Amino acid sequence: MENFDITNLTAHEILEKKLDTALVCKKLKEHISQVDNKVKAYISFEDTQKNGLPIAIKDNICVKGELTTCASKILQGFRPPYNATVIEKLAKANIIPFGKVNMDEFAFGSSCENSCYFPTHNPWDLERVPGGSSGGSAAAVASGLAIWALGSDTGGSIRQPASFCGVVGLKPTYGRVSRFGLIAFASSLDQIGPITKDVADAALLLNVISGYDPNDSTSANIAVEDFTKSLVNNVEGIRIGIPKEYFLPGIDTEVKKNIFEAIELLRKKGAIIKDINLPHTEYAVEIYYIIATAEASSNLGRFDGVRFGKQAEGKSMIEMVANTRGLGFGNEVKRRIFLGTFVLSHGYYDAYYKNALKARTLVKNDFDKAFDEVDCIITPTSPTPAFRIGEKLNDPLSMYLSDICTINVNLAGIPAMSLPCGFTKQGLPIGLQIMAKAFNEEVIFKTAYSYEQSTTWHKQKPKIE
């Protein structure tokens, strides 16, 4: 029993084998002390003795009394007086927060480089980014520094890092998981979700964190299925749509090749493959960066140096607030607040914000139409594998474009999963994205589990030297 390998261990194995969770935590700590100086996934640990199944938590999810900083200077030293609903639900299932993991500041980014602490490294190639914004969560799971993790996804922040790090990441349907205690980025898009080593763990974790919460007015009062019931190896008759708009020349050829091989495998297993259209896909990035920044500029208004975190000096109140925000926010956060304030301002509101809302409806209609014909949709998760640290840092637009395959899912409020579907010749993981209709995570689990059962990608682990 003592002889398990912590790097491969999943939560369902811990439960099935009834492993001693105190021993799991001990082994995890040892592994962290040996490897995390290279990966740099963790931001903070609390040295309390708690018993239960450990889980890594993204630093924008409130854990009572424990540092929760969104990887921002403005929240340095902030310890929330309450738990996020997901943390309460985990506690009831005897799952305990085991360290906070790195992220892009306030979840703005796709590379984990916008953290006020340090960038996290991709365990498959330490010179590359783990993706973002939940880069710490994905890198920790991929390198065995965490059994599993929670991330948040506003435009791809669970799925893109999962794809870059070769793990499973699920953005649930909007409203499936309570956002209470998730520090808000864009409230109409944010969802908390699992990042795990395999599909079964994602189902287990979604079971625990889902459900109606009176503290979140957007949480859906819909009964939660037992998602583990969908872990069946059978795709017979499942209709899978392939949207041509996601396979344009900007997509890396190795990514494309692996996705098509995965589709072929599913076809051989009995799925029905159909070409479909999602004609408004090309507007995704524009629509998202108007709506998300507008909501962010409003949500971030609460960080004024009075209510939370650090306060700067100032001769007047206005000067104090300006100094606090000037010193506390990083450059990407400032860029987004400017952009969001601009698109909401008098004279521009109609041209930008209002039009973006209309276009968002068109994107949603595309999916509604597609799901009349198919049960799920398969695309790449990201147009490229993990890029190099620093490569896109001075080119925000190219960074924004890396979200092109994931953003529309948030605009439409539907669920989607990224799961490993191969490696490039250089050994970088490639992610396959499966989308489904709102509140239809079951078909995602079924398809993903069936695919996973026929492949071994998820069993491969990075060697960190």
What is the nearest approach in angstroms of ligand GLN to the Cβ of residue 51? 32
Least separation in angstroms between residue 279's CB and ligand GLN is 23
- DSSP-derived 3-state class of residue 105: helix
Partnered with residue 418 across adjacent β-strands are 169, 433
Q: How far is the CB of 120 from ligand GLN (least distance, A)?
A: 15
What stretches of 269-406 show up as alpha helix (H) in DSSP?
Answer: 284-299, 317-328, 331-344, 355-373, 396-401
Residues 344-403 that bind ligand GLN (CB under 6 A): 403
The CB-of-272 to ligand GLN minimum distance in angstroms stands at 31
Query: Catalytic site residue 133?
Result: yes
Closer by beta carbon to ligand GLN, 255 or else 409? 409
Choosing from 110, 133, 219, 418, the catalytic residue is 133
Bond into 454 cis (ω within 30): no
Q: How far is CA 34 from the centre of its chain?
A: 26
Instruction: Check: CB of residue 188 under 8 Å from CB of residue 405.
Output: no
**Secondary structure element (H or E) that encloses residue 268, with its range:** helix 253-268
CA–CA separation, 146 and 152 (whole Å):
16
Between 153 and 216, CB nearer to ligand GLN: 153
Q: Is 58 considered catalytic here?
A: yes
At CB < 8 A and 24+ separation, what contacts does 4-9 make? 6/31, 6/144, 7/31, 7/143, 7/144, 7/461, 8/144, 8/197, 8/459, 8/461, 9/144, 9/147
Q: Select from 2-10, 108-116, 207-215, 261-269 the region that touches ligand GLN (CB under 6 A).
A: 108-116
Q: List, in sequence order, every residue forming a beta bridge with 416; answer none if it has no partner.
A: 171, 435
The one among 21, 68, 122, 157 contacting ligand GLN by CB under 6 A: 157
Should residue 133 be labelled a site residue for ligand GLN when binding is judged by CB under 6 A?
yes
Is residue 155 at the binding interface for ligand GLN, with CB under 6 A as the rule? Answer: yes
Interface with ligand GLN in residues 291-330 (CB under 6 A): 292
CB of 1 to ligand GLN, least distance (A): 39
Close Cβ partners of 364 (under 8 Å, ≥ 6 residues apart)? 411, 412, 413
Q: Is position 108 an interface residue for ligand GLN (rule: CB under 6 A)?
A: yes
Binding segment for ligand GLN (CB under 6 A), chosen from 149-157, 267-275, 306-314, 378-386, is 149-157
Minimum Å gap between C-beta 392 and ligand GLN is 11
How many CA atoms does the CB half-sphere of 346 hold within 13 Å? 0
Q: Which stretch binds ligand GLN (CB under 6 A): 71-79, 106-114, 240-248, 272-280?
A: 106-114
Q: Which residues bind ligand GLN (CB under 6 A)?
A: 107-110, 133, 153-157, 185, 292, 403
Q: Which residues are catalytic?
A: 58, 133, 157
